[in-house]
Amino acid sequence: MNEGGAEAVVRPGGLIPAQPGPGEGKSVRSAVSARSEEEPTVDIVDAVDRDVNAGGAGGESGTGARADGAAAAVIAGAGPVARPGERATVRLRDDDSEEPPRYAPEWLQLRESADAAARAQDLLDPLRIRLANLPGRPGGVVVHDLGCGTGSMGRWLAPRLDGAQHWVLHDRDPYLLHFAAVASPRSAADGSRVTVETRRGDVARLTEDALTGASLVTASALLDVLTVEEVEALADACVGAGCPALLTLSVAGRVDITPEDPLDAEIAEAFNAHQRRNGLLGPDAVNATCEVFAERGATVRLHPSPWRLGPGEAALTEQWLRGWVGAAVEQRPELRERAERYLTERLAACAAGALRVTVHHSDLLALPRPRGGTA
């Protein structure tokens, strides 16, 4: 997969020597340039470039927006790719061994800065209070990151929490687990040690037993690709273990684009319908998850976490537009002719620095009753 480059060894269930993660404004490329003596590391961007040039997953990310309409490829994860009718989602389930992963590393890297800027800082204080009241453990808090991708949640959160931390990274894709391991942060806010292990598996089937000893569950952009039954299973596992859950960047079903276009609302409606395909919660995920956790006695806090995209995020805006419009057209093929005109004009405005986009998300912190009845 990474021909010509050194690979870090990712052992299922094994400890990975932690690496310095990027702070806000730093790229994954600069983060992994500080290499561990124990294990060789690999540059995420270079590895992706090699795979793309060899015909692997993903497409061109580029450094700026292109105004060439719908012809250019959509990066896997930004929108529909491969065979018509397939969902562009991380491989969550074990029911199809032939299903390829649907998040390309370059898409996750492209969105990481926007994700970091959007995540709700206001949810951290109640989380810190909860974690501070946990019984002391020699290895510190244990965080399970579900659908971790390339590990952006850990790079954002670990340096904002005090004390030793052990992160358990879950994903179906060993390629993404590799990237997450080599680019994980090595120290907490107070300089305490951060360690990492990886677990390849089906995050939609998490059980209470899997969370034995867990202090926190995290996930990013996950809830909207789950069904209500899977959210109920997640809540059952967290509540049964008395483990809080920080679930971030779930789509809210609302997009604001400046300047406005008469087709904005129709594209948004079709996209939201696409998100709800096959029983997935899509933009209904946050409300459904709040209800499910509350029914189980958890306290739930919500906070908006919108992407705010301008000229400085042109490459991300371009890929988001292609994916957003592509999903809408896949849902409603009769939109195709008007959508192609719409996308061409929107991409031209993006390339000219004249487009502003707000993509609304929500962050959710669920605080179940601790096991043993202590606060």
- At residue 88, does pLDDT exceed 60? no
In a domain, 35, yes or no: yes
**pLDDT tens, 126-185?**
999 999 998 877 779 999 999 999 999 999 999 999 999 999 999 999 989 999 999 999
Domain with 304, as residue range(s), is: 15-253+281-308+360-367
In a domain, 168, yes or no: yes
Binned at pLDDT 50, 70 and 90, residue 50 comes out as very low
Whether omega before 244 lies within 30 degrees of 0, making that bond cis, reads no
**pLDDT tens, 215-229?**
999 999 999 999 999
CA separation for the pair 41, 33 (Å, rounded): 8
In a domain, 58, yes or no: yes
Q: Which two tokens stand for residue 212?
A: 């034995």
Task: Return the closest-CA partner of residue 17 out of 34, 5, 3, 1.
Answer: 34
Binned at pLDDT 50, 70 and 90, residue 61 comes out as very low
> What's the domain count of the chain?
1
In a domain, 327, yes or no: no
Number of Cβ within 10 Å of residue 227's Cβ equals 16
**pLDDT tens, 246-285?**
999 999 999 999 999 999 999 999 999 999 999 999 999 9
In a domain, 129, yes or no: yes
In a domain, 328, yes or no: no
Number of Cβ within 10 Å of residue 335's Cβ equals 18
Binned at pLDDT 50, 70 and 90, residue 80 comes out as low
Check residue 371 and give its pLDDT: 78
Check residue 136 and give its pLDDT: 73
Mean pLDDT is lowest, of 70-74, 101-105, 305-309, for 70-74
In a domain, 337, yes or no: no
Task: Return the closest-CA partner of residue 188 out of 152, 141, 149, 144.
Answer: 141
| pTM exceeding the 0.85 threshold for the entire prediction | no
In a domain, 56, yes or no: yes
Check residue 36 and give its pLDDT: 36
CATH code of the domain containing 94: 3.40.50.150
